[in-house]
Amino acid sequence: MWRDEVVTYDVSRRDLTVLWRTLGDADAVHGLYYLVTHGLFQWSGDIDPLLVLRVPSVLAMGAAAAGVALIGERLAGPRAGTFAGLVFAVLPPVQRFAQEGRSYAMVCALVVWATYALTSAVGSTHAAGLTSAVSAQGGRARRAWWLYGALLLVACLLHEFAVLALAAHAVWVPRAARRRWAVASGAVVVVVAPLAVVSERQKAQVDWLYANPWTYAGAVAVCLLGAGCAASLRGRGVGGAPAGALVRLALPLLVVPTTLLLLCAPVKPLFVDRYVLYGMAGLALLLGAVLDRASRGGRGRASVAVVTAGAAVAALLPMTLHMRTPAGRLDDATSAAHAIRAAGREGDAVVYLPLRRRVWSLAVPGAADHLRDIALARSPVASATLYGTEVPAGVIARRMRAEPRIVLVTDPSGGRDEEDAREKVKRALVAERRFATCRAWRGRGARVIVYALPGRC
């Protein structure tokens, strides 16, 4: 597990009353997902918790790949759809979040299938308009619109930035279907609005976000790749079907949500690629259509397309394998928890710098039971918070000065960027020459160091 998965693991196993109180303090945006995983943990018993966390994401991405293939088939033909589904499955972001215990794979799958339902609703609405409003086509259209709204609503309740898919869909929906689309999307927005209000009060949780030029440049490059694919398909048939419908749907799905988050940067940086992961479906549709066109026109062109696709998959293989190792995450919380368990002696003090690193001790139940958490006021469960609450800075200073041995759990920065008074006190006292370093463990994104007074190592 890494830190975000540990949060899922810890919060999901709390009593429902405590879980509800926790959502009032933090992570309301993930509330529905925590309720789902809570049910899974209640049902799974002694099954490996990491398996319980990740299998839903694997299944969701499989469902998303199928949905991408069906959208491609409907808009550009069977072969384009097959290519799109296969491309989607090997895209690095899809590979990454298909094996992570967070909500993003589920959100992606729901948005993809909502998009498929939208294509059905638009097609049925058009057919009904050509016949009778009370025909079978009319009934099929109503069911498709209900399904579209329901799927997108659940996606937004799992993560509210799924609502940006509505803006992408708005670009594609034809004039004849706009009224029904507006009703369905308006209902989604109204229901999700209270969640948005609550999460706005918890916006301090994303204070860590900043306008990273490399991240933004990567997002722009992906959008440009999609735009290049769209330009190459303009005015051409794909698999016997016109390419325009696919391009008009896929390109906005890729570009619009990403662009909207990037435009927020001057006011509040909000862009993280996983927040708009469903945009990868748009890229896969465009690439699938390009591969379909490239493979037509004779055996030679088909061979070139196959070789090109094979080379691309081979080039992605090292990244794919890397993402399946602990080095593929920001940290290795499980190893950190084992290091905490092995650190110090019975009754030694432990200090977390910053306090949110307390989550590392939760990856392995009981990892810190032999240590005394001297800064802790109330545990995460007792306080219904993600990381617990701590005593005032002065109390922390007094307690740390009274300890002959301290186990420090921190990150590679040592909390240098933390401005909270409690974190400043911890950092200052650890830096005092009165402490010597007895043992140190350095892992992926984490450090566990045992400090002691001279002669007490």
Do the beta carbons of residue 427 and residue 416 sit within 8 Å? yes
DSSP helix/strand/coil, 159: coil
| pTM for this model (two decimals) | 0.91
What strand order describes the sheet that includes 349-353? 372-373, 349-353, 405-410, 446-452, 436-443
Continuous segment of H or E residues that includes residue 437: strand 436-443
Contacts of 58 (CB under 8 A, 6+ apart): 98, 99, 105
DSSP helix/strand/coil, 405: strand
Nearest to 451 by CA among 412, 396, 410: 410
Nearest to 429 by CA among 387, 375, 378, 389: 375
Do the beta carbons of residue 388 and residue 355 sit within 8 Å? yes
Nearest to 422 by CA among 381, 376, 380, 378: 376
pLDDT of residue 132: 47
pLDDT of residue 133: 46
Burial class (CB in 10 A: 0-12, 13-18, 19+), 298: exposed
Do the beta carbons of residue 436 and residue 454 sit within 8 Å? yes
d(CA 246, CA 236): 11
Calculate the CA dihedral of residues 265, 270, 275, 276 and round it to 10 degrees. Answer: -20
pLDDT of residue 184: 94
| DSSP assigned state of 212 | -
Q: Which residue positions in the chain have pLDDT lower than 70?
A: 125-138, 235-243, 297-302, 304-305
> What is the distance, to the nearest Å, from the Cα of residue 248 to the centroid of all Cα atoms in its chain?
26
pLDDT of residue 236: 55
Q: How many helices (H) and strands (E) does the chain have?
A: 18, 9
| DSSP assigned state of 274 | G
Structure tokens at 426: 């911890």
